[in-house]
């Protein structure tokens, strides 16, 4: 027992709806355009582009002409889309970090209006943003401070070469012992 008429097969490429096959009045197979609610490559690219700019799923979905719910559903069911989503969010976070770093280093200009009608421009620095960035990059900064000196690198290189020579000698000795005498 079937639930209603059979639906025509959907044509998909890389998980994107490219249309469906339908039989026209002359019993010929035709490709029908996808429904307006279906994901297309254009919608997917637009969604991911806006997501990488805003890091906001609702805004990206609205720009692409799909619902946020369908975007989350697609992320759950399509691995390639999910990977692109993660990359887009990573790009957005990197941009946000650069903006915050710029604000911490260069401040934000504020205009102060006085009661006599005059204006004064002032640059305001956010200590909270600076502290957050310090916490995020503390380990990287410490590693940079403790980089190996050139002499240390040379010394390590010598030690490694000596070890490799000893290993090669041991391997050769082991190979000679395994060969039968003639």
pTM for the whole structure: 0.52
Q: Tell me if residue 122 falls in helix, strand or coil.
A: strand
The tens digit of pLDDT for each residue in 65-86 reads: 999 999 999 999 999 999 999 9
How much is the pLDDT for 12?
53
* Domain limits, the chain: 39-125, 128-173
Confidence of residue 151 (pLDDT cuts 50, 70, 90): low
Model confidence at 1: pLDDT above 50: no
Q: What is the DSSP string of 32-90?
A: EPPPTTS--HHHHHHHHHHHHHH--HHHHHHHHTS-HHHHHHHHHH-HHHHHHHHHHHH
């Amino acid at each position: 027992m079937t639930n209603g008429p059979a639906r025509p097969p959907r044509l998909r490429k890389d998980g994107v709806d490219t249309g469906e096959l339908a039989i026209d009045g002359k019993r010929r197979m035709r490709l029908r355009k996808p429904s307006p609610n279906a994901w297309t490559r254009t919608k997917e690219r637009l969604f991911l582009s806006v997501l990488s700019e805003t890091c906001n799923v609702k805004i990206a979905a609205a720009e692409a002409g799909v619902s946020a719910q369908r975007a989350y559903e697609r992320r759950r069911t399509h691995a390639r889309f999910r990977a692109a989503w993660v990359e887009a969010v990573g790009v957005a976070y990197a941009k946000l970090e650069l903006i915050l770093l710029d604000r911490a280093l260069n401040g934000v200009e504020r205009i102060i209006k006085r009661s006599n009608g005059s204006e004064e421009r002032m640059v305001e620095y956010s200590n909270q943003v600076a502290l957050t960035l310090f916490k995020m990059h503390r380990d990287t900064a410490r590693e940079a401070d403790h980089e190996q000196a050139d002499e240390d690198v040379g010394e390590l290189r010598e030690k490694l070469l000596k070890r490799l020579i000893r290993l090669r000698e041991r391997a050769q000795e082991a190979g000679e012992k395994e060969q039968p005498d003639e």
